[in-house]
Structure 1
Amino acid sequence: MSSTPTSSVQKSFKHEVFLSFRGEDTRKNFVDHLYHALHSKGITTYKDDKNITKGGKIDDQLLRSIEESRLFIIVFSKNYANSSWCLDELVKIMECQKMKEHTAYPIFYDVEPTEVRHQTGAVKRAFVKHEKEDDAERWRDALKEAARSGWVGVEDHF
């Protein structure tokens, strides 16, 4: 009896792409255009459009949606690090990306990769309110890890 090695079995995903973004910075411009472009190509894309209560915790359904997505597009913007919700999403995305089936693609929208990686400039100003929080170090590590690659200057193309 022959069996297929588990490494060659493809995982089935509910979403091809999960979009992580700071709504107030990018929802009505870049992210909406990106979502519609992906959708028009038949790419199932998860975009959380809920109004999130400031200081609210990320819910289990959103964490499941991250796990059920194959690709992650992280749209870093000036205020991305201002949101603990975005930072919790990012930590989960970086955990999932360590698995072979998942890949994260950072995009730097009106912010430089070094600002995200080292939490300087606009990112530092956005992150400052989290400095004393228990999760601050996990969030910093996720920002550093995610900012190692990606696309810069995309706002010039939309």
Structure 2
Amino acid sequence: MAYRSPSSTNFKYDVFPSFSGVDVRKCFLSHFLRELDRKFIKAFKDNEIQRSHSLAPELKLGIKNSRIAVVVFSKNYPSSSWCLDELLEIVKCKEEFGQMVIPVFYCLDPSHVRTQTGDFGKNFERTCRKKTEKVKFLWRRALTDVANILGYHSVTWYDFI
């Protein structure tokens, strides 16, 4: 594993949030990003990508240039091949460079992500219909890998108040 030490690398961003906009952009994510800004923590923001630029390479660069990836799992996260491809890149950066990954389970049982069951699993299967077995295997492995990292579960948030 080629590890890059955070002290030896200048990151453009502190945090890269990976999320399903349908589920969290206006509720959780807007508050999360505002709080990061308030604390002078620089986050990658997809809505700041220039209109003339291609999205996929910009997202990959954002992931690679971030110290931490925060993956906000929600019911519709696996409905998007964009989200699942981001997750592959995040896992790659975790393995190759030691990037820190923090999972957040938003209104979702972590075991549903780990095992791709429930509504999460149904959405995952729908997205996989026209994909190769290799892609499905890689996505499944990435979901399980990140879901096995100790993270935050929305049902316990009131414990922090």
Q: Same fold (TM over 0.5)?
A: yes
Q: Which amino acid aligns with 2:142?
A: A
Q: Which residue of 1 aligns with 2:13?
A: 15
Q: Which residue of 2 aligns with 1:137?
A: 137
| TM-score, with structure 1 as normaliser | 0.84
Distance 1:8 1:113 in 2: 29
| TM-score, with structure 2 as normaliser | 0.83
- Runs of at least 4 residues of structure 1 off by over 6 A? none
How far is 1:100 from its partner? Answer: 4.4
Q: Secondary structure at the match of 1:45?
A: coil
Q: Secondary structure at the match of 2:107?
A: coil
Q: What stretches of structure 2 of length at least 5 have no aligned partner?
A: 49-53
Matched, 1:89 2:86: yes
Q: Which residue of 2 aligns with 1:49?
A: 47
How far is 1:21 from its partner? Answer: 0.4
Q: Which residue of 1 aligns with 2:51?
A: none
Note the 1:57-136 alignment, pairs <5 A. 59-132=56-129, 133-134=131-132, 135-136=135-136
Q: Aligned-residue CA RMSD in angstroms?
A: 2.3
How far is 1:97 from its partner? Answer: 0.8
Q: Which amino acid aligns with 2:96?
A: M
How far is 1:62 from its partner? Answer: 1.1
Q: Which residue of 1 aligns with 2:154?
A: 153
Distance 2:6 2:29 in 1: 34
Q: Secondary structure at the match of 1:44?
A: coil
CA contact (8 A) 1:109 1:155 kept: no
**How many equivalent pairs are there?**
147
Change (3 A) 1:7 1:20: closer
Which structure's CA Rg is the greater one?
1
Deviates more, 1:67-76 or 1:100-109: 100-109
Q: Secondary structure at the match of 2:148?
A: coil
Distance 1:97 1:125 in 2: 27
Change (3 A) 1:130 1:28: same
Distance 1:147 1:47 in 2: 23
Q: Which amino acid aligns with 1:46?
A: F
Q: Secondary structure at the match of 1:46?
A: coil
CA contact (8 A) 1:20 1:47 kept: no
Q: What stretches of structure 1 of length at least 5 have no aligned partner?
A: 1-5, 51-56
Greater fraction of residues in helix: 2
> Sequence identity, in percent?
37
CA contact (8 A) 1:111 1:122 kept: no
